[in-house]
Structure 1
Amino acid sequence: MITALDAYLRDAPVAFGLLAVALTAFVVVGVRLSVIDGRTHRLPNGIVLPSYPAAALLLSAAGASAGEWHRVLGMLGGAAVLWLAFGALHLLYRQGLGFGDVKLAGLVGLYLGYAGWAAVWWGPFLALLLGGAWSLVLVVTRRATLRSSVAFGPFLVAGAALTLAVLP
């Protein structure tokens, strides 16, 4: 996403501003949801659901003003793919993945899809790696057992943020 921001800064300043606001909103909402999920194992609808239209509007406007309509389609596709994939995982094992994580995955999918299809796959993959590593640390240090519950929202946000920061 850094590459897109750089290109927009030079060629499409309106798109740059809109994308910068969208990414700032992602960081603010992501940090807030991560803290809440880490403490309560809940991802409140009052934060997640209003973030969908805000992100969709900002990202669509950025893509449209830069003339990059493929990003708008990617954004919608990314949200759908991640929402459906995480929804299927939720149905397979409800105790392991809550429906709040499904809704958050759709929101994250908007941003990752805007960045491209590689990001749609890398974001959740990195989330699983980060969440698994953290869980392993907790088990090894005996702060948790193999049956302990770990909030996944913070790792979903971190995986997406890392992907957005690193992928071109």
Structure 2
Amino acid sequence: MSLENWLVLGALLWGAVAGWLLPRPVYRLAVPAGEERPERTPQGREFGGAFGGWLGPARAGGERYGPSAPPTAVATALVCGALAAATGTRPELGAWLLLAPVFVLLAMVDFRVQRLPDPLTLPLAGGALLLLGGAALLPEHGGDWTGALLGALALGLFFFVLFLINPRGMGFGDVKLVLSLGAVLGWYSWGGLLLGTFVGFLLGALYGVGLVALRRADRKTSIPFGPFLIAGALLGVLMGAYAA
């Protein structure tokens, strides 16, 4: 089996393990505005396990209180496997594999409560630039760190303007999220950044139209935009990696 195939297999396993640990942080971070994060399970048990009880399946006493771990593990594994298949042996693959579970976590939290937690969004932007900066120092990297930095600034500024124009239509959490998305999209090319952003808007619009068509929402109903921005960014990175 070739090195590339081993990388894909390793990425799938990494994604499965990382995804298996996501349900509990999803539950603890998916808190509506104005409410405190839970310090105990709904059954009254203390969170135990790795990192102060922040990682692991969301189960207590045989009862599930958060997302199911197997679907989360499968989804994260598929994302990591696709990134490995597209990137190959280039050093930025390490950055993608470390960032991907966090983006999956953010998408799940935003979809549940339409909120992106600050403890993740802002550090994630710095982490993305730091990881890509490390990749840029290694031989055979396929992108450009300056492009990542400019992508983060450009997309952040664009969304900040949208927020100022229509605060009800664009949450400030999305503004902070796109700093990291702009970095990963700008790493390969401006074309990838434009493609990923366009796809994110398109997916969000289609989701909103679908809800209206099913009479589950109206034109004034807010929707979680983060998951669609993240999905668009994934497509943009995959296309950029293949092109590189």
* Secondary structure of 1:115's aligned partner: coil
1:74 to 132, 147, 152: 147
**Structure 1: gaps of 5 or more residues:** 10-14
Q: Does 1:54 align with 2:136?
A: no
Say how many residue pairs are matched.
159
Deviation digits for residues 23-74 of structure 1, max 9, x if unmatched? 1233211111111111111111111122122211111111221266970110
Aligned to 1:135: 208
What is the TM-score with the length of structure 1 in the denominator? 0.87
- Determine the C-alpha separation between the residues in 1 that align with 2:120 and 2:106: 8
Instruction: Say whether the 8 Å CA contact 2:200–2:233 is kept in structure 1.
Output: yes
Instruction: Say whether the 8 Å CA contact 1:2–1:164 is kept in structure 2.
Output: no
Aligned to 2:13: none
Q: Does 1:94 align with 2:167?
A: yes
Aligned to 1:153: 226
Deviation digits for residues 57-105 of structure 1, max 9, x if unmatched? 1111112212669701100010000000000000000000011100111
1:33 to 91, 106, 118: 106
Instruction: Say whether the 8 Å CA contact 1:2–1:165 is kept in structure 2.
Output: no
Aligned to 1:12: none
- Determine the C-alpha separation between the residues in 2 that align with 1:69 and 1:132: 32
Aligned to 2:239: 166
Give the deviation of 1:21 after TM superposition: 2.4
- Determine the C-alpha separation between the residues in 2 that align with 1:71 and 1:4: 17
Aligned to 2:87: 5
Larger radius of gyration: 2
Aligned to 1:106: 179
Identity of aligned residues (%): 36
- Determine the C-alpha separation between the residues in 1 that align with 2:196 and 2:179: 12
- Determine the C-alpha separation between the residues in 2 that align with 1:148 and 1:43: 18
Instruction: Say whether the 8 Å CA contact 2:192–2:239 is kept in structure 1.
Output: no
- Determine the C-alpha separation between the residues in 2 that align with 1:68 and 1:21: 11
Give the deviation of 1:156 after TM superposition: 0.5
* Secondary structure of 2:219's aligned partner: coil
The list of structure 1 runs, each at least 4 consecutive aligned residues, that deviate by more than 6 angstroms after superposition, is 1-4
Aligned to 1:21: 94
Task: Decide whether aligned partners of structure 1 residues 70 and 155 sit closer, same or farther in structure 2, where only a CA change above 3 A counts.
Answer: closer
1:63 to 130, 136, 143: 136
Q: Does 1:125 align with 2:198?
A: yes
Task: Decide whether aligned partners of structure 1 residues 81 and 3 sit closer, same or farther in structure 2, where only a CA change above 3 A counts.
Answer: farther
**What letter matches 2:117 in structure 1?**
P
Aligned to 2:34: none
Instruction: Say whether the 8 Å CA contact 2:110–2:227 is kept in structure 1.
Output: yes
Normalized per residue, the structure richer in helix is 1
Task: Decide whether aligned partners of structure 1 residues 59 and 4 sit closer, same or farther in structure 2, where only a CA change above 3 A counts.
Answer: farther
Relative contact order (alpha carbons < 8 A, sep ≥ 6): 1 or 2 greater? 1
**What letter matches 2:120 in structure 1?**
I
